[in-house]
Amino acid sequence: MRGVLAAGVAPLAIPSDVLYGATAPSNRVNLASIGVGGQGGGLFNTLMQPDWIRVVAVADCFKERRENRVKQANDRYGQNVCTPYRDFREILARPDVDGVVVATPDHWHHHATALAMQAGKDVYCEKPLTLSINDNKDLLETARRYGRIFQYGTQQ
């Protein structure tokens, strides 16, 4: 009888892809897109490709943009995991958001990036980083002060 019982409980380990799909939740990064028009839309599409990234929030001041992107994400994931926001600061209050992609108009880059790092989020921001050298230096100091990963990049 013991042999039958032992056979009934095997296997002892179940692969994570059986329970969670291709990527286990512990191996997934939850990101938010702040600004999803133009360049931000292209960055959003890039974020949607890898299985290890979940876009869980979108902020844009234009309702149609943010809701279209949220629908795109939720359709891809097959469930409602992405939430729209008009005010990006609401995203920063979410403990489940690991990082943000800032693709706002240029004059908002410094403000959104600094607040995100202060809220404990890692940040990717497109060019131009800010409108002044002093603001650029401030973001470097903010990243160091809060121990955040910060990447500044270009679409090229």
| pTM of the shown model | 0.82
Question: Stretch 137-147: mean pLDDT, rounded?
Answer: 95
What pLDDT, on the 0 to 100 scale, is given for residue 5?
A: 42
* pLDDT digits 0-9 by tens, 2-24: 444 444 444 444 445 555 556 67
What pLDDT, on the 0 to 100 scale, is given for residue 121?
A: 98
Q: Are 91 and 100 in contact (CB under 8 A)?
A: yes
What pLDDT, on the 0 to 100 scale, is given for residue 22?
A: 61
* Lateral strand order in the sheet of 99-102: 83-85, 53-59, 29-34, 99-102, 122-126, 150-153
What pLDDT, on the 0 to 100 scale, is given for residue 23?
A: 66
Name the more confident of 77 and 26: 77
What pLDDT, on the 0 to 100 scale, is given for residue 12?
A: 45
Whether pLDDT at 113 is above 80: yes
* pLDDT digits 0-9 by tens, 87-111: 999 999 999 999 999 999 888 889 9
Question: Stretch 133-153: mean pLDDT, rounded?
Answer: 93
Q: Which has the closest alpha carbon to 131: 150, 113, 115, 110?
A: 110
Residues of the chain by 3-state class (helix, strand, coil), percent to 5: 45, 20, 35
* pLDDT digits 0-9 by tens, 37-74: 999 999 999 999 999 999 999 999 999 999 999 999 99
What is the distance between the alpha carbons of residues 61 and 103, in angstroms, rounded to a whole number? 12
